C-alpha cells in the first residue's frame, strides 16, 4: 500500500542575506549548507495496518509524509502509494489518500463546515449517494451535527479536528496520513478521535500512517511503530518487539513501615529511595521477581509492593 525505498530529502540552507539583492546573491552564490532531513528511509506498509511514525522534533517525520503525499519531491529513492507515484500521478494518488495535518486545517476558515464539505465533494467528484452515506456515517461517529453550520474559525480545536477528519474521508480514501491529529486536544477530545480512528481502521480497513508525540496515541492505536531520528530509520516493529529489543527495567516499588536497611542486590540496574519508599529497577531477563522480593523483605517491613512494566515514554526516550 505504501512503500518507501531508500527515501532521501536534502534541504539547502542558505545564510541569511540582507535585502532583495542580497537574497539573489545568496541564491546564486552556491554558499550554504545541505541538511539531510530524511536519509535512506525504507519501509513497506500493507493494507489495513495502523502504523505510528515516531521521532523527536526535527527527526524528519513531516518531511517523509510530505514526500508520501506528493507535496515534496524526494532528493533520492522512491515512493509508491497504492501502486502509484505520488509525484508523477498526483491526481490519481489524491483520490486514494486522505491527509490531515493537525497544525493546519484544509477547511475554508470563514465558511460553515458544510460548505467546505460541499467544495471538497465537488473537487473530488464524490457523487450524491456516496456523499450522503459518508455524511451519515461520519456524523454518527464524529457527531458533526452540532457544528456543521458553524464557520470553521469559530470551532473549538476538537471540533475542527473532527471536521478535518471527516473532510479527509469524504472521498472514501483507502489510506490516511495523519500528522499529529491529537495535538493540543484535551483528554476527552483525544479519546474521541482515537475511538474514531480505531473504528475506521478496524471496520473500514483503512490503512493509517500516524505521526504523534502522544504516547497514549501509540499505546492505544499503533500495531506497529517506525521510529526515525536525525532522518534515519532506527526501529521498525511492534511495541512488544521494541520492549524486548530495549530490555527496559521492570520497577518494583516498596513502601516500608520504617526506614529500610537497604543492601545492594547484584544484577539489578539501580535503586532509588524517597523517604520510606524504595524503587528497584531490574531486567527480568537477568534476575527474577521472586529473587528481588526475597531480597527486599530483608530490608524491613514492607507495607505495600507494586510492580510496573516499562512505560512507553521510557522506551521511546531510550531510542531517541
Ligand X SMILES: Nc1ncnc2c1ncn2[C@@H]1O[C@H](COP(=O)(O)OP(=O)(O)OP(=O)(O)O)[C@@H](O)[C@H]1O
CB neighbours of 33 closer than 8 A, spacing ≥ 6? 12, 13
Please report how close the Cβ of residue 55 comes to ligand X at its closest, in angstroms: 5
Query: The cell 456543521 sits on which residue?
Result: 148
Nearer to ligand X, 12 or 109 (CB): 12
Nearer to ligand X, 21 or 34 (CB): 34
Please report how close the Cβ of residue 108 comes to ligand X at its closest, in angstroms: 25
The sign of the CA dihedral 230, 234, 236, 239 is negative
The sign of the CA dihedral 185, 187, 188, 191 is positive
| Among residues 11, 108, 124, 281, the one that binds ligand X under rule CB under 6 A | 11
Nearer to ligand X, 11 or 108 (CB): 11
Please report how close the Cβ of residue 38 comes to ligand X at its closest, in angstroms: 7
Provide the total of helices (H) and of strands (E) in the chain, helices listed first.
11, 13
Nearer to ligand X, 229 or 273 (CB): 229
- Residue count, binding to ligand X (CB under 6 A): 11
Strand segments (E) across the chain: 2-13, 33-45, 50-54, 76-81, 97-101, 175-179, 207-211, 224-229, 232-237, 250-256, 270-274, 277-282, 302-308
What nine digits make up the cell of 222? 499503533
Judged on CB neighbours under 10 Å (0-12, 13-18, 19+), 122 is: exposed
| Among residues 43, 45, 49, 62, the one that binds ligand X under rule CB under 6 A | 62
Task: Tell me the per-residue interface mask from 27 to 56 with ligand X, x by CB under 6 A, - otherwise.
Answer: --------x-x-----------------x-
| Among residues 7, 8, 39, 60, the one that binds ligand X under rule CB under 6 A | 60
Nearer to ligand X, 58 or 267 (CB): 58
Q: At what angle do helices 187-202 and 157-169 cross, to 10 degrees?
A: 10
Q: Is residue 16 part of the contact set for ligand X (CB under 6 A)?
A: no
Instruction: Say if residues 38 and 233 touch (Cβ distance below 8 Å).
Output: no
Nearer to ligand X, 58 or 83 (CB): 58
Nearer to ligand X, 116 or 211 (CB): 211
The sign of the CA dihedral 236, 166, 140, 194 is positive
Q: Is residue 58 part of the contact set for ligand X (CB under 6 A)?
A: yes
Please report, as residue ranges, which positions from 220 to 259 form the binding site for ligand X (by CB under 6 A): none
Please report how close the Cβ of residue 93 comes to ligand X at its closest, in angstroms: 20
Q: Is residue 57 part of the contact set for ligand X (CB under 6 A)?
A: yes
| Among residues 39, 41, 61, 159, the one that binds ligand X under rule CB under 6 A | 61
Please report how close the Cβ of residue 179 comes to ligand X at its closest, in angstroms: 7
CA distance linking residue 40 with residue 23, whole number of Å: 31
Binding site for ligand X (CB under 6 A): 11, 35, 37, 55, 57-63
Amino acid at each position: 500500500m505504501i512503500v518507501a525505498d531508500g527515501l532521501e530529502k536534502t534541504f539547502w540552507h542558505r545564510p541569511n542575506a540582507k535585502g532583495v539583492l542580497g537574497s539573489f546573491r545568496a541564491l546564486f552564490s552556491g554558499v550554504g549548507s545541505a541538511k539531510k532531513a530524511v536519509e535512506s528511509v525504507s519501509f513497506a506498509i500493507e493494507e489495513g495496518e495502523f502504523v505510528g511514525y515516531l521521532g523527536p522534533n526535527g527527526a524528519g517525520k513531516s518531511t517523509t509524509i510530505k514526500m508520501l503525499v506528493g507535496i515534496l519531491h524526494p532528493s533520492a529513492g522512491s515512493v509508491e502509494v497504492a501502486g502509484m507515484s505520488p509525484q508523477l500521478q498526483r491526481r490519481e494518488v489524491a483520490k486514494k489518500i486522505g491527509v490531515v495535518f493537525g497544525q493546519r486545517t484544509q477547511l475554508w476558515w470563514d465558511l460553515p463546515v458544510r460548505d467546505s464539505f460541499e467544495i471538497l465533494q465537488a473537487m473530488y467528484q464524490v457523487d450524491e449517494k456516496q456523499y450522503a452515506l459518508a455524511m451519515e456515517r461520519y456524523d454518527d461517529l464524529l457527531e458533526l451535527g452540532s457544528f456543521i453550520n458553524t464557520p470553521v474559525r469559530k470551532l473549538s480545536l476538537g471540533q475542527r479536528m473532527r471536521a478535518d477528519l471527516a473532510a479527509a474521508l469524504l472521498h472514501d480514501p483507502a489510506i490516511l496520513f495523519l500528522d499529529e491529529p491529537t495535538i493540543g486536544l484535551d483528554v476527552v477530545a483525544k479519546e474521541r478521535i482515537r475511538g474514531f480512528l480505531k473504528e475506521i481502521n478496524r471496520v473500514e480497513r483503512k490503512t493509517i500512517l500516524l505521526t504523534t508525540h502522544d504516547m497514549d496515541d501509540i499505546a492505544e492505536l499503533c500495531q506497529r511503530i517506525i521510529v526515525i531520528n536525525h532522518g534515519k530509520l532506527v526501529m521498525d516493529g511492534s511495541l512488544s518487539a521494541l520492549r524486548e529489543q530495549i530490555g527496559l527495567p521492570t520497577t518494583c516499588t516498596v513502601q516500608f513501615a520504617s526506614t529500610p536497611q537497604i543492601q545492594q542486590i547484584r544484577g539489578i540496574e539501580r535503586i532509588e529511595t524517597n523517604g520510606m519508599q524504595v524503587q528497584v529497577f531490574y531486567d527480568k531477563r537477568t534476575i527474577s521477581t521472586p529473587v528481588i522480593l526475597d531480597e527486599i523483605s530483608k530490608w524491613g517491613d514492607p507495607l505495600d509492593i507494586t510492580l510496573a512494566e516499562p512505560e512507553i515514554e521510557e522506551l521511546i526516550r531510550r531510542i531517541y
